[in-house]
């Protein structure tokens, strides 16, 4: 059975904005507000009025690369979500900001490279304009007004980059430090980080614009209203792949859960529409994962109570996403049942059997089935017989539907043939694919070498070849491309 997973690009952009806001520790309307402010700046700068559409799209996709460098952020500052929120708020008297800023001094270029390459690749996959893609690949560039001409970036940076950065500064700093302080900080960068004429516009209209944002939510209707993207479609799997980039050991997880959910739904006799809902919902079940720090997901032992509560709220954020993503609302709502159990022991609702839609029951069981057979930081993967035993125990205890569990345990891993076909098309050798699978899931060269019985230098050579064939420079970008090509 063919399942249509194409969604409107506009809805994909809204989903990516939601995930990005969670990843950056921002309110879930931050990107929307920044997009609206970007449009106002472009319209007020009459010579840049034509950039309004581009600026709004860039603002919505600005944080789309956040899941890609979350592992590196976590290694650098610990809590990748809270740390990035601190970084953006820029409170100079906050010791936490000083700590983050100090840690970022030498690491920033590599983190930005990952972010920009992935967000640019996402833009390319979405089919948006070349200008939007180029802006995202250079989203962290500054005006360099205080830099000698011969030392400025050789490539011309689009005005949309400065517009979006200014809008984001105004949106975040006005919340964190108040409007007057925000204007003072922005004014101090005039002619240095931002063009003077744009800063003057922001200072002049900041109070008026922020008052409009606070009055009601009518302004949301104008964000990307004339974006010219209405006819464009993109596979929903792209959102799943971006979600999974946050944790290397989750690479390809959402696709595997979706396949298991669809096949088990078919096995228990659900109609084609229900099967499609199971598949699409499973692709989205990890949206809320972006709200939880990698340090929590990577904890090797039992979680303290506060951390457990954050994990339990991850599906809540998936449910919240359902209210902001247009045509994906029903899918995201079903996806938010992934942590629920029939006996009421699940999260976040703690609902019981009859309160769960059948698609939610399927997604919940499929999530557990795939997780049991996958390695996690706190345990090794269970063998298939062990996973069958454990899932049946949960069914016996009343946590999962027996017929769904029976269907899942009867699956034989169909769909794997697509992986080898994609590898052949790219002229990847079997060894290169084996090596890259390990690297993409967070293993070091030494770990992959030990697992495959080859030398670390050989692993490095294989990785370089894969990056060259995939036309990528970072692990995250290569992983995203490999996921879209079904190599992982």
Question: Does pLDDT of 355 surpass 50?
Answer: yes
For 387-408, letters b (16+ CB in 10 Å) and e give bbeebeebbeeebbbebbbbbb
CB 400 within 8 A of CB 361: yes
Question: Does pLDDT of 413 surpass 70?
Answer: no
Kind of pairing, strands 6-8 and 233-235?
antiparallel
Q: Where are the alpha helices (DSSP H) in 410-444?
A: 417-425, 430-440
**CA dist., res. 459 & res. 469, Å (int):** 15
In DSSP notation, 121-142 reads: HHHHHHT--HHHHHHHHTTT--
Question: Does pLDDT of 25 surpass 60?
Answer: yes
Which two tokens mark 19? 């995930």
Nearest to 84 by CA among 54, 115, 61, 58: 115
Average pLDDT over residues 454-469: 92
**pLDDT over 70 for what percent of the chain?**
94
Mean model confidence pLDDT for the chain: 91
**pLDDT for the residue numbered 50:** 84
**pLDDT for the residue numbered 230:** 81
**pLDDT for the residue numbered 217:** 86
User: What is the tens place of the pLDDT at every residue in 191-215?
Assistant: 988 999 999 999 999 999 999 999 9
**pLDDT over 90 for what percent of the chain?**
78
Kindly state the DSSP code that residue 45 receives in the 8-state scheme.
S
Q: How many residues does the chain have?
A: 488
Higher pLDDT, 423 or 372: 372
Which two tokens mark 88? 């953006």
Higher pLDDT, 261 or 228: 261
Question: Does pLDDT of 147 surpass 60?
Answer: no
Q: What burial class does residue 430 get, using C-beta atoms within 10 Å of its C-beta: 0-12 exposed, 13-18 middle, 19+ buried?
A: exposed
pTM of the predicted protein model: 0.93
At residue 313's C-alpha, the angle toward residues 67 and 315, to 5°, is 70
């Amino acid at each position: 059975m063919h399942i249509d997973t194409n969604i409107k690009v506009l809805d994909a952009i809204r989903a990516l904005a939601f995930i990005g806001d969670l990843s950056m520790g921002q309110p879930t309307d931050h990107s929307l507000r920044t997009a609206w402010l970007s449009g106002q700046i472009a319209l007020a700068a009459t010579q840049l009025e034509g950039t309004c559409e581009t600026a709004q799209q860039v603002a919505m996709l600005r944080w789309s690369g956040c899941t890609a460098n979350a592992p590196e952020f976590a290694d650098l500052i610990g809590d990748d979500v809270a740390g990035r929120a601190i970084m953006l708020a820029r409170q100079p008297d906050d010791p936490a900001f000083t700590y983050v800023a100090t840690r970022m001094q030498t690491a920033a270029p590599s983190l930005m490279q990952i972010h920009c390459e992935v967000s640019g690749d996402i833009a390319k996959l979405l089919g948006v304009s070349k200008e939007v893609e180029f802006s995202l690949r250079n989203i962290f560039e500054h005006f360099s007004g205080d830099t000698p001409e011969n030392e400025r970036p050789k490539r011309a940076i689009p005005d949309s980059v400065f517009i979006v950065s200014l809008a984001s500064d105004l949106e975040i700093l006005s919340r964190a430090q108040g409007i007057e302080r925000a204007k003072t900080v922005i004014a101090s960068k005039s002619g240095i980080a931002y063009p003077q004429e744009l800063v003057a516009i922001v200072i002049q209209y900041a109070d008026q614009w922020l008052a409009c944002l606070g009055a009601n939510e009518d302004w949301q209707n104008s964000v990307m209203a004339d974006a010219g993207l209405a006819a464009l479609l993109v596979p929903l799997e792209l959102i799943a792949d971006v979600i999974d980039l946050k944790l290397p050991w989750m690479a390809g997880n959402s696709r595997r859960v979706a396949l298991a959910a669809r096949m088990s739904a078919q096995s228990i006799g659900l109609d084609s529409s229900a099967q499609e809902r199971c598949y699409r919902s499973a692709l989205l079940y990890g949206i809320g994962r972006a709200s939880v720090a990698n340090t929590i997901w990577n904890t090797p032992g039992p979680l303290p109570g506060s951390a457990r509560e954050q994990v339990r709220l991850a599906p809540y954020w998936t449910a919240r996403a359902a209210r902001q993503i247009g045509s994906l609302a029903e899918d995201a709502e079903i996806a938010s049942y992934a942590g629920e159990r029939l006996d009421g022991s699940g999260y976040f609702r703690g609902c019981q059997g009859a309160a769960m839609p059948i698609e939610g029951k399927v997604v919940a069981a499929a999530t557990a089935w795939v997780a049991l057979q996958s390695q996690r930081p706190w345990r090794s993967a269970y063998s298939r017989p062990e996973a069958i035993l454990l899932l049946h125990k949960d069914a016996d205890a009343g946590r999962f539907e027996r017929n769904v569990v029976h269907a899942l345990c009867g699956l034989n891993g169909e769909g794997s043939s697509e992986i080898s076909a994609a590898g052949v098309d790219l002229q990847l050798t079997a060894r290169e694919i084996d090596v890259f699978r390990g690297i993409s899931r967070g293993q070091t060269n030494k770990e992959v070498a030990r697992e495959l019985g080859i030398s670390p230098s050989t692993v490095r050579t294989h990785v370089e070849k894969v990056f060259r064939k995939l036309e990528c420079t970072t692990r995250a970008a290569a992983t995203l491309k490999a996921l879209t090509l079904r190599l992982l």
